[in-house]
Structures are given as C-alpha cells and as structure tokens.
C-alpha cells in the first residue's frame, strides 16, 4: 500500500527544502523527493560554493595589494587551485549535510529517487507519484542519508509541490562537452587554470566566473548579446561596473553573439558575429557557456495531467497553484526571476496557502538581485529607464563611494549608490548599487520598499558612522537636493 502524506515536495533545493520545513512546522505530514543532492544546485553547485571561490579570489587580490595597506608580504602571491576547489567543495558538502539534519529535525521523510506524477491531487484519492531509481550519477558524494530515508515506490499526497529547479541552457552547435566548453559545473572544479577564457553571457553567472578567473590571472573575454553587461541592471550601474572590470583587465564584446565554435586538441576558436555583421575569431583555452538556464519540467508527467506550461516554465498564480488543483510549483521551474531567495519565499507562500493561512502573493518588484563580482552589483525595483518608460515623474539620487569615509578606509572606494523616487509621492521606486559589499547593503532598501517607505522616513533614519550604509542615505538626500557630503 502506498505511503500517504499531506504534502510531497519534488526537489530538495532551496525552494523544496524550505517548503518541507514550513509544512512540518504547520503540522502537515511531509515528504521530499530528491534524485541527487539535498540543498539543490544553490548549495552544491551554485550560490554557496561559487561565493567560496570568489572569497578565495578576494583574499588573493588583497594579498597582492598588501603594500597598499602597509603589510609586507614576502614572495609571489599565487593561487593554489587545488586548495581553492577543495575548500569550495567542502563548503558545499557541509551545506548539503546541514539540510539533511534539518529534514531529520523537522521529521520530514526524504525519498531518494526520480519522481513522476501519475495522478493529480484533485479528487478523493489524492495525488500519486512513482519514485524510481535515479537515471544519472550524482556529481559529488552524497552526504550521509538521514535516518528518515525512503526509496523507490509509490507515494500519495493531498498536495504536491514541484520544485525541480533548472539547469544550464545550451545553444545549438555550442553544447558543453565538459572539457573545452564548460557550464558552471565544470567551471567550479577545474583541474588546472586555463591561460585564456572566453565567457559567453554576462549575466550573474557569467560575470562571477569571469571575475573569479580574471582575479586568478586568467586572460578573460566576455561576449554579450545585449548592448550592456548584466542586461537586467540599470544602464548607469552596468557602465560603471564594466569600466571597473576593464580596469582589472577583463575584455568585453557587446552587441555580439558566438555563432560557431571550432575545437582543437586543447583550445577553442569562437566565431563572434557583431551587430554590424562583421565576424571576429577568438581563440581561448576554454569557453564557459553562461547563456541562461532552462526549467527541469521533463519526465515529470506534467503533460498527461494537463499542467499549463508557457515559455518552458510551469504557470502559477500568486499562491503558486498550477492549472491542476492540488498541484503547485515554486522556484526556478515556475519561471523568473530564477533566484534562490525567490524560491524560498514562494515556498513559504505556497505552504501557508495550503495550510489555510492567507499569505501575501509574491511581489516580484521587491525581489533583489545580486552579482558577486568585484565590484559587487545589487539592485531592487525599477531602473531609471523602466521608471521613465512607465511614465513616472521621478527624482534620481546618486552618491559615490569615493566620498564615503568607511570605503576610503577600506581601500575600496570605487562604487555608486543610485536611488529612484516618485517625485510627487516620494515613494522609493528602485535602488541600484555597485561597489564594496553592496550585496549586503541592498536589503536595507528591500525592507524600505516592502514597508512602502518614502524619502521622509529615510531622511529621519539614523545611519551609523562610519559605515558603507551612509551612502544609502546620502543618495536619498541627493535625489531631493540635500546631499551633505558631496
């Protein structure tokens, strides 16, 4: 007889495991199905281990500039690639194991395998899934399985949440081969440093890897289809970041696309077509394909159940319900923005709705975006261009980090905070930052926007001195002609 649950979640990434924990907190009998690794791409191959790599690069950068801080460092500062990768993988395994402990603590059953929906949750019988043996081998060793572990079989649930995430997108004819053409999987665990690297795509993934490898001394060129790097960011912030990255030695080719890649024994030659139709060839040791991701919707049984899918993503409403009653979707598989924190927030909304609570639907305008290159980039809300396109009468404030005492003391004073307000109401519409630790600062603006803050509240907020956060208040003051330190 099939085991029965109140909620079954398919996928144990940041959306899935958070959904499982919240469901258990609300007294729902819960199970989670995972075919490879608890904590998903984010903790195993994405958010967390990439930040470990970037931290190593940051330490190397600081050590290389020790004399600027009055610190004498003898000998040549060089990367120990094996140690850098080992540290990153160790952190990934630690996070993986931590999620296993959370499942045990919250009495969530972990079912190992690949799930397929065989009956919709609507109706008296409830939903049903069949879990079979995974068809692919895990890319890293599994953490010890928690005691509350199950395997192949048939399972029933009154509610089923799909949280299967996404994977790297491949362009036809430029498919990653794991040797010369990498995705972020291979880029995280190189056996040796390439002398030259071509990065295809300048979104967060592409720019972060470009920044990591450039800091370690690799010759890096980035090709971007759009006329600016980090296309989702405010154009002014993007230009600032590009200039800083170019100063570090990175090269960019914008308004261009890679149309063909020729492979040699240990290098690639990319044919890059520019906007004017001309073609430039670039030879590099390796190519990283970072042209986006695609949702993992295949082989789940969605078609047979009639689940609505658009542009490769499962269609959901404000409470993460799909077109099939009792079936939900959260995170990357439910479409952009494809960010771990968005998945976690949707998880809570979804489960609380299932439990009969009345959570607020996700406001995607309040989901921050962060890129952890050097300099960091972070944003929330409308860009200046989007605000003007929407017909808003706006006030724009700017404050440079070069005028901030803490940034100067840190020796990292290149950056900019840009704020956008509605000129009539004073509503904060957007905030865009580039510079040191802005991925931490951005949350102040996110909280402010969530509370529907106006400029007056920010004027009357005391910001501690000396901190980088003072740039946030000064940018607000500047929008209304009141900047004090510029």
Confidence of residue 147 (pLDDT cuts 50, 70, 90): low
Q: What confidence score (pLDDT) does residue 151 get? A: 87
Confidence of residue 275 (pLDDT cuts 50, 70, 90): very high
* Residue 50: other Cβ atoms inside 10 A: 22
Q: What confidence score (pLDDT) does residue 315 get? A: 98
Residues 6+ apart with CB under 8 A from 476: 397, 419, 421, 428, 455, 458, 459
Confidence of residue 142 (pLDDT cuts 50, 70, 90): low
pLDDT tens-digit series, residues 400-418: 999 999 999 999 999 999 9
* pLDDT at 141 > cutoff 70: no
Q: Report the Cα 292 to chain-centroid distance in Å.
A: 11
- CA dist list (Å): 49 to 35, 186, 253, 343, 417: 20, 13, 28, 18, 28
pLDDT tens-digit series, residues 306-325: 999 999 999 999 999 999 99
- Is there a shared CATH topology between the 3-45+85-167+294-365 domain and the 375-479 domain? no
Q: What confidence score (pLDDT) does residue 143 get? A: 52
18: left (phi over 0), alpha (psi -120 to 50) or beta: alpha
Query: Under CATH, domain 3-45+85-167+294-365 is a member of which superfamily?
Result: FAD/NAD(P)-binding domain (3.50.50.60)
Percentage of the chain modeled with pLDDT above 90? 92
Q: What confidence score (pLDDT) does residue 326 get? A: 96
Q: What is the β-pairing status of strands 313-314 and 309-310?
A: antiparallel
* pLDDT at 379 > cutoff 60: yes
Mean pLDDT of 200-224: 98
Per the prediction, the chain carries an average pLDDT of: 95
Distance CA 233, CA 251 (A): 19
Per CATH, the number for 375-479 is: 3.30.390.30
Confidence of residue 26 (pLDDT cuts 50, 70, 90): very high
Q: What confidence score (pLDDT) does residue 457 get? A: 95
What are the sequence ranges of the domains in the chain?
3-45+85-167+294-365, 181-291, 375-479
The pair phi, psi for residue 365, each rounded to 5°, is -70, -15
Fold held by 181-291 = FAD/NAD(P)-binding domain (3.50.50)
pLDDT tens-digit series, residues 92-138: 999 999 999 999 999 999 999 999 999 999 767 789 999 999 876 66
Mean pLDDT of 384-410: 98
Mean pLDDT of 352-381: 97
Residues 6+ apart with CB under 8 A from 36: 134, 136, 138, 139
Distance CA 283, CA 280 (A): 10
* pLDDT at 181 > cutoff 70: yes
Of 369, 377, 368, 465, the closest CA to residue 415 belongs to 377
pLDDT tens-digit series, residues 73-89: 988 899 999 999 999 99
Q: What confidence score (pLDDT) does residue 149 get? A: 77
Confidence of residue 140 (pLDDT cuts 50, 70, 90): low
| HEC assignment per residue over the chain | CCEEEEEEEECCCHHHHHHHHHHHHCCCCEEEEECCCCCHHHHHHCHHHHHHHHHHHHHHHHHHCHHHHCCCCCCCCCCCHHHHHHHHHHHHHHHHHHHHHHHHHCCCEEEECEEEEEECCCCCCCEEEEEECCCCCCCCCCCCCCCCEECCEEEEEEEEEECCCEEECCCCCCCCCCCCEECHHHHHCCCCCCCEEEEECCCHHHHHHHHHHHHCCCEEEEECCCCCCCCCCCHHHHHHHHHHHHHCCCEEECCEEEEEEEECCCCEEEEEEECCCCEEEEEECEEEECCCEEECCCCCCHHHHCCCEECCEECCCCCCECCCCCEEECHHHHCCCCCHHHHHHHHHHHHHHHCCCCCCCCCHHHCCEEECCCCEEEEEECCHHHHHHCCCCEEEEEEEHHHCHHHHHHCCCCCEEEEEEECCCCEEEEEEEEECCHHHHHHHHHHHHHCCCEHHHHHCCCCCCCCCCHHHHHHHHHHCCCCCCC
- CA dist list (Å): 188 to 185, 193, 464: 6, 11, 38
CB burial of 111-132 (b: ≥16 within 10 Å; e: otherwise) equals bbbbbbbebbbeeeebbbbbbe
Question: Could you list the active site residues?
Answer: 465
Are 12 and 110 contacting, i.e. CB atoms less than 8 angstroms apart? yes
Are 121 and 327 contacting, i.e. CB atoms less than 8 angstroms apart? yes
Q: What confidence score (pLDDT) does residue 135 get? A: 78
* pLDDT at 332 > cutoff 70: yes
Take residue 65 and report the two structure tokens written for it: 């500039």
Distance CA 100, CA 462 (A): 41
Of 45, 37, 41, 5, the closest CA to residue 23 belongs to 5
Q: What confidence score (pLDDT) does residue 472 get? A: 98
């Amino acid at each position: 007889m099939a085991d029965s649950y109140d909620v079954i979640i398919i996928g144990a990434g940041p959306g899935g495991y958070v959904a499982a924990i919240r469901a258990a907190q609300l007294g729902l009998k819960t199970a989670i199905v995972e075919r490879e690794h608890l904590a998903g791409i984010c903790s195993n191959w994405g958010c967390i281990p990439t930040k470990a790599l970037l931290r190593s690069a940051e330490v190397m950068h600081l050590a290389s500039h020790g004399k600027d801080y009055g610190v004498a460092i003898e000998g040549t500062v060089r990367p120990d690639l094996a140690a850098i990768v080992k540290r990153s993988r160790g952190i990934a395994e630690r996070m993986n194991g931590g999620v296993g402990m959370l499942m045990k603590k919250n009495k969530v059953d972990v079912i190992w395998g690949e799930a397929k929906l065989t009956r919709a949750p609507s109706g008296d019988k409830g939903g049903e899934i069949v879990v079979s043996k995974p068809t692919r081998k895990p890319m890293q060793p599994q953490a010890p399985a928690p005691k509350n572990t199950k395997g192949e079989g048939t399972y029933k649930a009154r509610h089923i949440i799909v949280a299967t995430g996404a994977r790297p997108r491949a362009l036809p004819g430029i498919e990653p081969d794991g040797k010369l053409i990498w995705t972020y999987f291979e880029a995280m665990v190189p056996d040796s440093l390439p002398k030259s690297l071509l990065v295809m795509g300048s979104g967060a993934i592409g720019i972060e890897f470009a920044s990591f490898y450039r800091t370690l001394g690799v010759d890096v060129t980035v090709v971007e289809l759009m006329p600016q790097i980090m296309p989702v960011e405010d154009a002014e912030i993007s230009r600032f970041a590009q200039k800083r990255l170019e100063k570090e030695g990175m090269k960019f080719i914008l308004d261009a696309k890679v149309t063909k890649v020729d492979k040699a024994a240990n290098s690639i030659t990319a044919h890059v077509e520019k906007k004017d139709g001309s073609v430039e060839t670039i030879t590099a040791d390796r190519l990283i394909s970072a042209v986006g991701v695609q949702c993992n919707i295949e082989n789940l049984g969605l078609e047979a159940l009639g689940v609505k899918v658009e542009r490769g993503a499962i269609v959901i409403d404000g409470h993460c319900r799909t077109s099939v009653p009792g079936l939900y979707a959260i995170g990357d598989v439910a479409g952009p923005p494809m960010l771990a924190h968005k998945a976690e927030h949707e998880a809570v909304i979804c489960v609380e709705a299932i439990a009969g609570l009345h959570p607020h639907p996700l406001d995607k305008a309040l989901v921050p975006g962060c890129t952890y290159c050097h300099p960091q980039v972070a944003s929330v809300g409308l860009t200046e261009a989007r605000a003007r396109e929407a017909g808003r009468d706006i006030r724009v404030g700017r404050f440079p980090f070069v005028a901030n005492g803490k940034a100067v003391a840190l020796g990292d004073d290149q950056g900019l905070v840009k704020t956008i307000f509605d000129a009539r109401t004073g509503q904060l519409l957007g905030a865009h930052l580039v510079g040191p630790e802005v991925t931490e600062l951005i949350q102040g603006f996110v909280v402010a926007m969530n509370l529907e803050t106006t400029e007056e509240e920010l004027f009357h907020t005391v910001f501690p001195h000396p901190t980088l956060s003072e740039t946030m208040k000064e940018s607000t003051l500047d929008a209304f002609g009141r900047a004090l330190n510029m």
